[in-house]
Amino acid sequence: MTGELSPIDRAKFVAAKKAVEFIEDGMRVGMGTGSTAAWMVKCLGERVRDEGLKITAVPTSSRTAKQAAEVGIKVSTLDEAKWLDLTIDGADEFDADLNLIKGGGGAHLQEKIVAAASDQMLVIADASKSVEQLGAFPLPVEVIPFGGQASRRLIEEMLEDMDVDGRIASLRMNGDVPFVTDEGNHILDLNLRRIGNPVALSARLNQIPGVVENGLFIDICDAVVIGHGDGRCEVLDLSGNFNGGSQADGAGDNLFSELED
Ligand SMILES: O=C(CO)[C@H](O)[C@H](O)COP(=O)(O)O
């Protein structure tokens, strides 16, 4: 079924497949957004269908809610679930401390709210998302449309004040019109190249009145399942809750056979 996948899609698939093994009956689970998270939704749907797994599932976007419905997962809102045991989501970049850049899909606001309301956040990613220093991926910042030009100017002035490398905030477009998030906001992508102090940058960004939330996830992620194109995956776990806390446990796991299903 999935035999003709590209190496990158194989990597996403095996990471997702491994991650859903951590979901137990009765859990309240946050479901992330993006192409890797879509594999997770698919694998989770299979467990719900084949094993009768009972979960409360909370999507982080309208896109994920739709994907969940397509594979037979009934979704709840975060308010209905109140609190979550585990959120599984993709990322655009992760570093050795498991700080992340997210929001490439424009859903980081709901993703951060859902992850922050979860006991554990598990990221699924192909190995290309691993970086020494965050920032090569443009940092998404969600801003309200009202006064968008002023917010952009304040962000660029703040970047200049912080003396960071790149200082241009680009309005994300969807064809000829600005991209609109599920909350009706716009996204500014910051081409910073490298982020020396993510904690300070995140705090400074969120102090600007028109900024709703930025895509830096600091001290939120507990572990990353890293998938490889040959079907191997490993778990980088700083929490001790996934594979006993070993930093690269499971490096030998090969879920490639699943691709032949
Ligand atoms: O943060 C996200 C969406 O807002 C995604 O998780 C991130 O962009 C990674 O996406 P993909 O799995 O498609 O590479």
Are residues 104 and 15 part of one domain? yes
Q: Is 59 in the pocket of ligand 1 (CB under 6 A)?
A: no
**Distance between CA atoms of residues 42 and 66, nearest Å:** 12
Are residues 150 and 53 part of one domain? no
Domain that holds residue 126: 7-130+219-260
Please compute the mean of the pLDDT values over residues 209-222 and round it to a whole number.
98
In total, how many domains does the chain have? 2
> Is residue 169 assigned to a domain?
yes
> Is the pTM for the entire model greater than 0.80?
yes
Task: Provide the pLDDT confidence category of residue 2 given band limits of 50, 70 and 90.
Answer: low
**Distance between CA atoms of residues 148 and 141, nearest Å:** 12
**pLDDT beyond 70 at 172:** yes
Q: At what angle do helices 35-51 and 62-70 cross, to 10 degrees?
A: 30
Instruction: Calculate the alpha carbon distances from 161 to 7, 134, 155, 164, 201 in Å.
Output: 42, 19, 10, 8, 11
Q: Is 172 in the pocket of ligand 1 (CB under 6 A)?
A: no
We report the CATH number of the domain holding residue 207 as 3.30.70.260
Element (DSSP H or E) covering residue 155: helix 148-161
Summarize pLDDT for 229-246 with one digit per residue, the tens: 999 999 999 999 997 443
Are residues 29 and 42 part of one domain? yes
pLDDT value, residue 3 = 61
> Is residue 2 assigned to a domain?
no
Summarize pLDDT for 107-153 with one digit per residue, the tens: 999 999 999 999 999 999 999 999 999 999 999 999 999 999 999 99
Are residues 205 and 81 part of one domain? no
Decide if the complex's ipTM is over 0.95: yes
CB 18, CB 10: distance < 8 Å: no
In a mutational test of the pocket of ligand 1, which residue from 102, 109, 111 has the highest number of ligand atoms less than 8 Å from its CB? 102
Known binding-site residue numbers: 33-36, 89-92, 102-105, 129
CB 84, CB 29: distance < 8 Å: yes
**pLDDT beyond 50 at 93:** yes
